[in-house]
Amino acid sequence: MPAASQDTATDLGISAVRIFLIFLRLGLTSFGGPVAHLGYFREEFVERRKWLNGHAYADLVSLCQFLPGPASSQVGIALGLLSGGMRGALASWLGFTLPSAIALVLFGLVVRHLAGGMDGAWLHGLQVVAVAVVAQALWGMGRNLCPDRARASLAVVAAVAVAWIPGEFGQIGVIAAGGLVGWRWLSPAAVLPHTPLPVPLRKRTGLILLAVFFALLIALPIIAGQSDSHALRLFDGFYRAGALVFGGGHVVLPLLQAQVVPSGWVTNDVFLAGYGAAQAVPGPLFTFAAYLGAVSLHTPNGWLGALVALVAIFLPAFLLIIGVLPLWEEARRHPAMQRALLGVNAAVVGLLLAAFYQPVWTSAIRSAADFVLAATAFLLLMIWKAPPWLVVILCAVVTELWWH
């Protein structure tokens, strides 16, 4: 076997069923968000199974950090592709995604059909815990992505800009401006690690997939704007959210909120309750889209709405990672891409800061008791390292008992 094949999973020929089962176990046990997921993946595929070496894995993670979408899911899709081709890519995504998606859809169906449930104290407890979770994410991302004055200042400016220009276009403009500022004025502190990743796809296939990605991004809003189909508008909204969010994880919150709340698809209380519940399940946070599709006030909703939203928000991740992988070796040599990414990352911290204030804080913190509960939840997450699912349950129980 050639040396390159030993270092990567390209020629392992692992069956799709085996890949699915491996990622299903990870999907059932991977708590902690995207950064933790990447750690679980490294332990599983580099240290334990030795499907690829550490340098190749670091290179793959670097690529996924460059792309919009859920970074950990894209790494999982790429691992499936390198180990089992296109079937392996689909199997890895299904295994990692299904557990949390099913759990959140079931929760959404309970929320929709529970008589008087929307006025329950437990629901407000889920909104309060969302404050602590987003604050924790904001703290961690700020330290990692804005370690110097220039990037910290860029993040604050981005937050102010989004607050003054609310909505989807303001957020997209801030991300684009952040990339431009990074390309022009910032410089990376270190060169990205490099180990070639032989990919079982031709460059032509990659270019076709990227063309499909951009064609859908441009055409879907036009078609949906001329259609009365809520299914088409739902697909368009979640596709754009998945295509335009950098950093994944909690960064998707403001984009999804801008899509579903102002349009009247989902009320703000239901949105924040689901976001809080999403912290109690393992796997990718993007499966929150399945919950939003299930609780939509328009049809399709329920299981069909969840399926439409879930496929739409993850489709860009598929098209981008599989399309870019064959082109990565040449593109990654350009320092301009690394500089632009620094600015984009700082800008998305600003987006999360703006979302932390509105709608998360303003909707959840209504009294001193709410503030005490949110601060306690933050302390449990940050200092005591309590698992998020436990903090979610505690907040829901405490608020229910508090009211009664």
Rounded to the nearest integer, the mean pLDDT of the chain is 85
Span of 208-222, 284-298, 321-335 with lowest mean pLDDT: 321-335
Q: Is residue 22 part of a domain?
A: no
Q: At 328, is the pLDDT very low, low, confident or very high (cuts 50, 70, 90)?
A: confident
The predicted pLDDT at position 122 comes to 77
The predicted pLDDT at position 169 comes to 73
The predicted pLDDT at position 195 comes to 60
Closest CA to 315 of 198, 230, 168, 215: 215
242 in Cβ contact with 219 (< 8 Å): no
Q: At 29, is the pLDDT very low, low, confident or very high (cuts 50, 70, 90)?
A: confident
Q: At 19, is the pLDDT very low, low, confident or very high (cuts 50, 70, 90)?
A: very high
Show Cβ contacts of residue 404 under 8 Å, excluding neighbours closer than 6 positions.
Answer: 121
Q: Is residue 32 part of a domain?
A: no
pLDDT for 246 beyond 50: yes
The more confidently predicted of residues 347 and 95 is 95
Closest CA to 131 of 403, 367, 368, 373: 373
Q: What is the mean pLDDT of residues 256-267?
A: 90
Encode pLDDT of 173-189 as tens digits. Answer: 888 899 899 999 987 65
Strand partners, 246: 68
d(CA 27, CA 14): 19
The more confidently predicted of residues 267 and 1 is 267
Q: At 168, is the pLDDT very low, low, confident or very high (cuts 50, 70, 90)?
A: low
pLDDT for 368 beyond 50: yes
29 in Cβ contact with 282 (< 8 Å): yes
Q: What is the mean pLDDT of residues 23-49?
A: 84
The predicted pLDDT at position 401 comes to 86
3-class DSSP state of 194 = coil
d(CA 82, CA 196): 12
Strand partners, 68: 246
What's the chain's length in residues?
A: 404
pLDDT for 330 beyond 80: no
Q: Please, what sign has the CA dihedral across residues 309, 314, 316, 322?
A: negative
Encode pLDDT of 225-241 as tens digits. Answer: 899 899 999 999 999 99
The predicted pLDDT at position 14 comes to 87
d(CA 266, CA 288): 13
Q: In one letter, which amino acid is 182?
A: G
Q: Is residue 72 part of a domain?
A: no
d(CA 175, CA 41): 28
Its domain, for residue 305, covers 98-403
Of the chain, the percentage scoring pLDDT greater than 70 comes to: 87
Of the chain, the percentage scoring pLDDT greater than 90 comes to: 43
Q: What is the mean pLDDT of residues 311-335?
A: 86
Show Cβ contacts of residue 231 under 8 Å, excluding neighbours closer than 6 positions.
Answer: 300, 308
Number of domains in the chain: 1
344 in Cβ contact with 246 (< 8 Å): yes
The predicted pLDDT at position 248 comes to 65
The predicted pLDDT at position 336 comes to 82
201 in Cβ contact with 322 (< 8 Å): yes
d(CA 197, CA 334): 17
Tokens 């684009």 belong to residue: 176
Q: At 356, is the pLDDT very low, low, confident or very high (cuts 50, 70, 90)?
A: confident
The predicted pLDDT at position 130 comes to 80
Q: Is residue 187 part of a domain?
A: yes
d(CA 117, CA 367): 21
Q: How many CB atoms lie within 10 A of CB 140?
A: 15
The more confidently predicted of residues 224 and 68 is 224
Encode pLDDT of 268-299 as tens digits. Answer: 889 988 988 888 888 899 999 999 999 999 98
Q: What is the mean pLDDT of residues 109-115?
A: 77
Q: Please, what sign has the CA dihedral across residues 39, 280, 359, 293?
A: positive
HSE-up of 253 (CA within 13 Å, CB side)?
32
Show Cβ contacts of residue 362 under 8 Å, excluding neighbours closer than 6 positions.
Answer: none
HSE-up of 129 (CA within 13 Å, CB side)?
30
| pTM (two decimals) | 0.77
Q: Is residue 227 part of a domain?
A: yes
pLDDT for 192 beyond 50: no
**Judging by beta carbons within 10 Å of its beta carbon (0-12, 13-18, 19+), is residue 201 exposed, middle or buried?**
middle
Q: Is residue 360 part of a domain?
A: yes
d(CA 220, CA 67): 20
320 in Cβ contact with 73 (< 8 Å): no
Phi first, then psi: give them for residue 383, nearest 5 degrees. -95, -45
Q: What is the mean pLDDT of residues 139-157?
A: 91
The predicted pLDDT at position 342 comes to 84
Q: Is residue 43 part of a domain?
A: no
d(CA 168, CA 131): 22
pLDDT for 334 beyond 80: no
Q: What is the mean pLDDT of residues 11-35?
A: 84
pLDDT for 6 beyond 70: no
Q: Is residue 18 part of a domain?
A: no
Span of 1-10, 203-212, 306-315 with lowest mean pLDDT: 1-10
Q: At 302, is the pLDDT very low, low, confident or very high (cuts 50, 70, 90)?
A: very high
88 in Cβ contact with 81 (< 8 Å): yes
Phi first, then psi: give them for residue 68, nearest 5 degrees. -70, 155
